[in-house]
């Protein structure tokens, strides 16, 4: 393979391949309400894609009393776990992963979800037969928009930043990829608009995995870097 060609594709999972963005939104909204720190749901949604540490900083301010942070995380996890058996892949998500693998690209799930959540996400996606590498929050010191989870995905897969593309659904995904000079393809199925993703630096934007799959041959996933 020529050195200017892609060797693999890194995929975010929540909101990109599995339809969870609004489940996380509702779970954080309720966790905050339960601790008498209400935040409008639209504001919570804008923070989804960050890790819980940075999400809480973003919503409640970095100078807040952090004593309740673990209680908030536990409440979110308990509420979100109620949806695990009902998680649904986004349109043709597994087909997209298989199409990438058929083109000789290594498929990496670069997710910062907790390990127990990753199990539920993989079960919903049902594409382990073509997945090369999977990360979790345990692999990253800092969450997005820091690039730690992408660095971990590269290290574990043996891929290099020069020969991959990242697919994500939030401006935080685009920002994390940008720190490593990895092109990021944005999907609007997580609830972030085409304009916001493009404005953050996404090299291309599609509605969802099905739309990307339909244009795969002419997309950044198959063109030389």
- The tens digit of pLDDT for each residue in 176-201 reads 999 999 999 999 999 999 999 999 99
Count how many domains the chain has: 2
Asked if residue 197 belongs to a domain, the reply is yes
Of 45, 99, 51, 88, which Cα lies nearest the Cα of 72? 51
- Specify the pLDDT at position 63: 84
Residues 42 and 128 in one domain: no
- Specify the pLDDT at position 4: 65
- Specify the pLDDT at position 65: 82
Mean pLDDT of 22-30: 97
Residues 92 and 72 in one domain: no
- Specify the pLDDT at position 225: 64
Q: Which domain holds residue 51?
A: 21-82
Residues 124 and 33 in one domain: no
Provide, rounded to the nearest whole percent, the portion of the chain with pLDDT above 70. Answer: 97
- The tens digit of pLDDT for each residue in 129-180 reads 999 999 999 999 998 999 999 999 999 999 999 999 999 999 999 999 999 9
Measured CA to CA, the distance from residue 10 to residue 6 in angstroms comes to 11
Residues 176 and 201 in one domain: yes
- The tens digit of pLDDT for each residue in 64-121 reads 888 889 999 999 999 999 999 999 999 999 999 999 999 999 999 999 998 989 999 9
Q: Are 104 and 134 in contact (CB under 8 A)?
A: no
Residues 32 and 95 in one domain: no
Provide, rounded to the nearest whole percent, the portion of the chain with pLDDT above 90. Answer: 87
- Specify the pLDDT at position 2: 41
DSSP secondary structure string for all residues of 4-47: TS--EEEE--BTTTBS-HHHHHHHHHHHHHHTT----HHHHHHH
Of 70, 63, 148, which Cα lies nearest the Cα of 112? 148
Mean pLDDT of 30-45: 95
Last residue of a domain, one of 82, 100, 124: 82
Residues 148 and 68 in one domain: no
Asked if residue 1 belongs to a domain, the reply is no
């Amino acid at each position: 393979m020529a050195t200017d060609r892609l060797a693999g594709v890194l995929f975010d999972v929540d909101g990109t391949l599995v339809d969870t963005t609004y489940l996380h939104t509702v779970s954080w909204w309720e966790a905050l309400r339960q601790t008498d720190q209400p935040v409008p749901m639209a504001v919570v949604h804008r923070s989804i894609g960050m890790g819980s540490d940075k999400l809480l900083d973003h919503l409640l301010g970095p100078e807040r009393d952090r004593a309740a942070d673990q209680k908030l995380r536990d409440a979110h996890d308990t509420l979100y776990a109620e949806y695990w058996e009902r998680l649904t892949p986004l349109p043709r998500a597994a087909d997209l992963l298989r199409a990438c693998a058929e083109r000789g690209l290594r498929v990496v799930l670069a997710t910062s979800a907790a390990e127990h959540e990753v199990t539920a996400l993989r079960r919903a996606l049902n594409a382990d037969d073509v997945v090369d590498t999977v990360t979790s929050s345990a692999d990253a010191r800092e969450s997005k928009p820091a690039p730690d989870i992408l660095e971990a995905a590269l290290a574990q897969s043996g891929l290099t930043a020069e020969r991959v593309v990242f697919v994500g659904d939030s401006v935080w995904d685009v920002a994390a990829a940008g720190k490593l000079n990895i092109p990021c393809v944005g999907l609007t199925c997580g609830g972030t608009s085409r304009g916001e993703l493009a404005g953050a630096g996404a090299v291309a934007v599609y509605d969802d995995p099905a739309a990307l799959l339909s244009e795969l041959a002419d997309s950044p996933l198959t063109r030389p870097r």
